[in-house]
Amino acid sequence: MNPKFGWAFVATGVLHFLRPKMYEAIMPDYLPAHRELVYASGVTEAVGGLAVLHPKTRSFGGWLLAATVVGVFPANVHMALNPERYPQIPKAALYGRLPLQLPMLLWALRMAKAKPAVAAPTA
């Protein structure tokens, strides 16, 4: 899988800061500090996405993104279980996005297990 997919995480992370209310709306009610968690997940997505782009930081970025995908999964489940709160999103899309989390997690784990770049020997 291509590390350039990291740019998708960077874009999503930036959106957390541009449209925080959109992300707050999908957070489960039982979680505290919605705005702060939205910003924190935005930072981890953006930093992780940038980190996987460079061979020396790819493993770190992969682990960070894997943790982020797992961490935000409850929000995706919350949306699927409460479709009446999201009438603008088709119900099929709310459920359809849940299995998409697995390929994202597997991609992040593949990045996490990437071998760090080794400098070429100098003469």
In this prediction, residue 1 has a pLDDT band, given cuts at 50, 70 and 90, of: low
Sequence ranges of the domains in the chain: 3-112
Q: Which residue has the tokens 């020997």?
A: 121
Q: Are 24 and 38 in contact (CB under 8 A)?
A: yes
Average pLDDT over the chain, rounded to whole? 91
Where residue 33 falls (left for φ over 0; alpha for ψ -120 to 50; beta otherwise) is left
Predicted TM-score (pTM) of this structure: 0.87
Q: What is the pLDDT of residues 72-116, one digit of tens each?
A: 999 999 999 999 999 998 999 999 999 999 999 999 999 999 876
Structure tokens at 122: 């100098």
pLDDT category at 119 given cuts 50, 70, 90 is low
Helix (H, G, I), strand (E, B) or coil at 51: helix
